[in-house]
Every structure is written in structure tokens, then in C-alpha cells.
Structure 1
Amino acid sequence: MSPKICLVGIDGLRVDLARGSGLMPTLDAVIADGVFNELRMEVPTLSGPGWSTLLTGRPHADHQVKDNHFVGHALLHCPDFLSQAYFADQTTTTLAAGGWPPLVDPSGIGPVIWERREQQRSGQHRVIARDGETYGYKLVDAEVADHAVDAISGRGPDLSFVYFCDADDEGHVYGPHTPEYAAAMGRVDNHLARIRSAIRYRVEVLGEDWFMVLTTDHGHLDEGGHGGDSQVERTSFVAATRFGGSLAGWPATLTPSQLAPLLLSCLSD
């Protein structure tokens, strides 16, 4: 049986503030049970370019996403990793769930994750698109988590991407060294814990083999904000654990554009 993979994107997470702080015990557990890689993101350290690279495996020069406006992008020539998996094996089932519209909403700019309407109609691809920019990420992230847990528990997609933006939102308003940012990290970790429990159920009850992988697109300056080339803004990470199998062979170093190809290779592990 091929393994299944759930990639969780935590936008704007300062991993140096989260790791070992007690605020994100699920993140710590994933690291303790698996592997941890540091990533150095390309400049500009904005969500549009960052997630486009992480999700397609292509550098900025290829996908041409220069900022969060997506003007002139070449994403139609750079399929996301969910789509790449389906094109390689058309039995693959996929899920994308997030509250930042450019990532998943086909009605707006982008999206980075291809709509693949035919596969949605056939039940092989599911898209949960919500609008955190309008309704707030505290509320929308919780709704995204509900849908992700339901999908993983019920159907167990072969490959999933689930996205949370609460921490980034609070980082912009208050900065990362604040109670508000700490509270957001705690809320996101609660979502991670629920997803992890859903995966554990499928491993322990159904005998499946699962990867849970966590990453972010950029850090935050101490005063809040990002986009530049400072070390803290360019710092990202990959934390991965495998329930029901070995992580032997996972590389010691990674670049942002190597994450998607690595995950695709794990599907045939």
C-alpha cells in the first residue's frame, strides 16, 4: 500500500519562537518523532512567491509570481504537486483546503492549486476555498480545519494540502513577540493536533501509512511584516513524521523548490 501525505502550510510562522516554546506541542511532537530541515526562502519573502515555489517545486524565475498580486504569473505552466501526482497516476485522490483565496479559489487571482474541475466532479479532487481576508483567519482557519479533519477521517485522500494563516495575520497586526501572536500559534497547533489525530486513526484502525509534513513560507521581522532579505524573513522549515513507516532516506538538507518533488517521491516509497 502506497503511503498518503498531508502537507500543512502555516503561513508566517516564526519557527524559532514556536519550537520548544510549549505553545505548539504538536509541532514539537512532529519534529521529535521525525525530521527537521531548515529552508532559506527566495526574495521577496512574500506569500505569493513563497507558496508558489513550495507547492509547485519551481523557483520564482519559473512561476513568475513576483508578489501577492500575481500579475503576469506563469502558474498555468507550473502545476502544483497535487496536480503533478494526479497526472502521474490518475487513481490519485487529492485535497486542497485553505482560507487565502490566491492559493485555492479559482474565482480570483491564481490559484496556485489548480482547480481541476473534472476531477472534482469525479470525486478525485476536493477543494475547500474560504476567504480569511474578509472574514478573519481565526474563524476561517477553524473552518478549514473542520473540513480537513472530516476529509482525512472519512475518505483519506492520497495527497493533501491544508493551509492556516492565523499566525501570519496576527504577526502583521501585532508583531511576533506579542500575546496575540502566541495565542494564534496555540490556535494553529490545536488544528494540527486534530489533523494528527485523524491521521493516527487511519494508521491505527485502517492500517494505512501516512506522512504529516509541516512548513511555512517566511518568517516575520520583530516589529511584524516581511518581504525583505533578512535572515529571519527568509527562514522557513520542513518538519515531517511518518506514521507506519520509516523516514530513512529523507535528505539532510532541502531547498524550497525541492519540497514538492520530495513529497511526490514519497508517494511511491
Structure 2
Amino acid sequence: MSPAARPRIILLGIDGLRWDLASESPSASTLRSLAAEGDHRDMTMDVPTLSGPGWSSLLTGTDHAQHGVRDNTFVGHRLFGHPDLLSRAFYQDTSTRTFAAAGWPPLVSPEGLGPVIHQRLEQQKAGLHTVVSRDGETHGFIRIDAEIADFTLAALNSRKVPDVAFVYFCDVDDAGHVYGALSPQYQEALARVDGHVARIWNAVGNRAADHGEEWLLVVVADHGHVDAGGHGGDSPEERASFILRWASGGDLSPWPAVVAPHQLAGLLLAERAADR
């Protein structure tokens, strides 16, 4: 398969979203449409159900014991020896253009003990890798998630459209911590993030139609929340995650009925493989 025929992939991460609270919610009309038009499956996260370990498993294709991320301090991690999805896509084909945008610094910022997404400065200088790092913990995730969506739309409408992208939203998780998963504020945050997803989905669909490109859009969460808010334990509500898939051409590759968190990156890379 030629590089031009391989699907472009955009992975949208929604931190702390419980699918049972979105699947019938008017606040999640876009996510529900993605599930209806594409594919939905539940996924069970490993304990501890924290963002650091969860996203490290999802993005690197390794489990907690391998990547060494045990909590959100990232102390003792082995991420430098376990490249992320974008890095692996690039080294699989060095013409691949990658893009990452997130408002939680440990995912993308070179400052601190991360990041999960490798910086790959040589590829950044060559215009093959773009990293957008913002600090939602300081400036608020309502504002920062909106900026992340804007940067993503700019990338999708640019001449250097990414082949593989990871985009992260944390507004829902933040609302869950402050107000609880069953609160009106959690649903309001869900509606805001759903709106970001709608804009991105629309841009992807327009590119597919206007440029004859194949696109695979995937949405995933890193953990859930207990009803009162919070996570980290082993309750079903905290371990609950999901995967949504949508392909611009309508045809989705067969995936296993059960996908473990550390298997997601490999499945996405297989979509880009020349012998797919």
C-alpha cells in the first residue's frame, strides 16, 4: 500500500469520560453519532486508574510494568525506552507527519518528568512533527481545551496536514473532580468537549471529501470516575473506558472484540502499515 493510500489517523483523548454517562446524554450528540456511524467497544483500564499510567499505556503500547508510570508524578518512568504512537508511526515510515496537542503538560511538555509524547526535535525542525503544549491546570481547561481544538483545526486546514495526530481534552475530568460525575457541571463540560469533537470531525470529513483522503478518527478515555467524583481505584466505574472508531470511507478494519489499553497503539499502527 502506498503512503498516500494509508488512512490518516486522529486519536482524540477525552480524560475521565464515563461512556455510560454520555451514551444517552443530549450533551454528547456528536460522540453518540460517531458511535452510531462507526464502532463502539468498551475497554477496561488497569489499576491504578490514574491519567499518567493510563495515557502511557494507551499511547506507548506498553503496560504499567513496562513503562514504569505508577502515578501522576511519573517518578521512575521508562518512557524514553518506549516510544509513543506518533514516534512509532514516524519510524515506521519517515515521511509521516505527526501532530500532538494537549493541555495537560506531562503528556507533551519537555519540562518536568514526562513527556509521554517524545519531542523529536529534529523532526520538529524539519516540519514533520508539531507539538502544542498548554497548561490547563494553571489557566483552566475550559479555555485551554478550546485552544487545543483551534490549534487542531488549524493543522487540519494547513498545507502540512498531519498523517497521525493525538489531541487531548481534560475539561470533563476536571469537572468530575470538582463537582462529581453525576453533576450538571460534568454534563456541561461534556457538551463543551463534544462541541470540540464536532468541529474536528467536520474538518476531517471535509478533508476526506475535498481531497479524496482516507481518515480514521478514534476517541478514547483513560479512566472513569466514581459517582461522587475521583478515580484511581479498582471500581467498575473507575476502570471503565471505551473506544469509538469512525472511518471516512465507512469501512473499518476488523479489531478484536476485547482491546486492552496497551494494545490500542499497535492496532492504530497496523492501520498505517504498508501490508495492511
Using the alignment, how far apart are the partners of 2:256 and 2:155 within structure 1? 30
Partner residue in 2 for 1:211: 216
Corresponding residue for residue 258 of structure 1:
263
User: Which of 83, 95, 99 matches 1:95?
Assistant: 99
1:199 aligns to 2:190 (yes or no): no
Aligned amino acid, residue 90 of structure 2: Y
Q: Could you tell me which of 172, 176, 180 is aligned with 2:181?
A: 176
**Misfit runs of 4+, over 2 Å:** none
Report SS of the residue matched to 1:23: helix
AA aligned opposite 1:207: G
**1:3-82 residue pairs with structure 2 within 5 A?**
3-82=7-86
Q: Which moved more, 1:22-31 or 1:120-129?
A: 22-31
Q: Given that residues 153 and 201 in structure 1 are in contact (C-alpha distance below 8 angstroms), is that contact kept between their aligned partners in structure 2?
A: no
Alpha-carbon distance in structure 2 between the residues aligned to 1:133 and 1:107 = 14
Q: What TM-score, normalized to structure 1?
A: 0.98
Percent identity for Structure 1 against Structure 2: 54
Report the residue type matching 2:85 in the other structure: F
Aligned to 1:223: 228
| Distance in 1 of aligned mates of 2:194 and 2:63 | 29
CA distance in 2, matches of 1:253, 1:49: 20
Q: Which residue does the alignment assign to 2:137? A: 133
Cα pair 2:13 2:168 within 8 Å, conserved: yes
Deviations 1:127-170 (A, max 9, x none): 00000010000000000000001101213210000000000001
What is the aligned partner in structure 1 of residue 244 from structure 2? Answer: 239
More displaced, 112-121 or 237-246? 237-246
More moved, 17-26 vs 69-78: 17-26
| Partners of 2:232 and 2:255 in 1: CA distance | 30
Unaligned 5+ runs, structure 1: none
Query: Where do 1:144-159 residues align within 5 Å?
Result: 144-154=148-158, 155-159=160-164
Name stretches of at least 5 consecutive residues in structure 2 with no aligned partner. Answer: none
Matches of 2:15 and 2:63, distance apart in 1: 18
How many Å apart are 1:248 and its aligned residue? Answer: 3.7
> In angstroms, what is the RMSD of aligned CA positions?
0.8
In structure 1, what residue type is equivalent to 2:150?
A: D
CA distance in 2, matches of 1:184, 1:202: 28
CA contact (8 A) 2:18 2:225 kept: yes
Q: Which amino acid aligns with 1:37?
A: R
* Equivalent pair of 1:174/1:181 in contact (CA under 8 Å): yes
Tell me how far apart the structure 1 counterparts of residues 202 and 38 of structure 2 sit (CA, whole Å).
16
Q: 1-side partners of 2:227 and 2:241: how far apart?
A: 16
Separation in 1 of the partners of 2:68 and 2:195?
A: 34
Aligned to 1:24, the other structure's residue is in SS state helix
Paired with 1:207 and 1:253, the residues of 2 have a C-alpha distance of 32
Distance 1:80 1:163 in 2: 14
- TM-score for both structures, normalised by structure 2: 0.96
